[in-house]
Amino acid sequence: MYIKVRVVTKSKEEVFKKVGDNRFEAWVKEKAERNMANRRTCELVAIYFDITTPEVRIISGHRHPSKLLAVPDK
């Protein structure tokens, strides 16, 4: 399944919420440097869907706030 995630970096709180059908927003504390924010976003997605972190893959948007991620169907 593909989901779209909009990521806000350097946030004071970490939040991951659903805003529409297969659309999510993530606020992460990490900076958008050295892939730190992408890794934390994948961790939050894995927690939300109750899967392991390596099962979440970034398909597009590695360097942009809007990302397309692949998560396995349950």
Q: Please state the length of the chain.
A: 74
Residue ranges of domains in the chain, CATH in brackets: 2-70 (3.30.1200.10)
Report which secondary-structure segment, H or E, holds 37: helix 36-49
The answer on pLDDT for 32 being more than 80 is: yes
Task: Report the SS3 class of residue 53.
Answer: helix
Q: What confidence tens digit (pLDDT) does each residue in 35-57 have?
A: 999 999 999 999 999 999 999 99
| Confidence category of residue 33, pLDDT binned at 50, 70, 90 | very high
Between the alpha carbon of residue 5 and those of residues 9, 40, 56, the distances in Å are: 12, 12, 12
74 pLDDT higher than 80: no
Mean pLDDT of the chain: 96
24, 52 Cβ separation under 8 angstroms? no
